[in-house]
Amino acid sequence: MPRGFAHGNVFRKLGGHQRRLKLLKILVNALIKNERIETTFTKAHETQKYIHRLIDIAKQSTNDAYTKDMVGYWADDDSNKRKLFSVLVPRFAEHSGKYTRIAMLPTWHIKDIDDHKKMAVLELKGNPLPPLPVKEDNPHTLQNVLITAAKNDWKAAKNIQSESSN
């Protein structure tokens, strides 16, 4: 039985088996070359699994026949192969998985968006590119104002209760 998700869907379709592999190879090569790519969330999530597996295989040995076959299949370009072995493998030598990070792009301008249309950025950790901006909570939204007020009321009630018990 092929490896995959336990809930019956082994892989995401992404347009059929051959098209899926071709698309994943393109995305894996782009990620190795650029260290950050922007694509849909579903494609980024699938690519993440394959790049983790490829880096794990490349970390094992450079002289192994299986490693050469897998890297030869997934990394089309010689420069990508060299970068994989000379840059990425030493960078992740101390890591045990989790070589990438997915950041969702904001979708406030599109209503009723599906999972397959959400955009995301997939990047290798430790890349030389500037860091992605982290979304900060707006303290002036209605929800945050109500939560802050409730916390202040709770603290005031707790202080009154502790003073009356003394």
CATH number of the CATH domain containing 64: 3.90.1030.10
User: Which among 74, 67, 71 has a CA at the least distance from the CA of 47?
Assistant: 74
Residue 114 lies in a domain: yes
Residue 55 pLDDT exceeds 90: yes
Domain enclosing residue 23, as ranges: 17-135
Same domain, 107 and 150: no
Same domain, 110 and 163: no
Using a cut of 0.85, tell me whether the model's pTM lies above it: no
Same domain, 87 and 112: yes
Residue 132 DSSP class: P
User: Which among 79, 78, 126, 74 has a CA at the least distance from the CA of 98?
Assistant: 126
- Ranges of H-type helices in the chain: 17-34, 41-60, 65-74, 78-83, 89-91, 142-165
pLDDT band of 123, cuts 50, 70, 90: very high
Token pair for 68: 């050469």
Contact 95, 59 (CB under 8 A): no
Residue 12 lies in a domain: no
Residue 4 lies in a domain: no
Same domain, 50 and 121: yes
Q: What is the pLDDT of residue 135?
A: 65
Same domain, 80 and 159: no
How many independent structural domains does the chain possess? 2
**10 alpha-carbon distance from chain centroid:** 19
Same domain, 144 and 130: no
Residue 54 lies in a domain: yes
Residue 87 lies in a domain: yes
Give the range with max mean pLDDT: 5-14, 44-53, 125-134: 44-53
Residue 8 lies in a domain: no
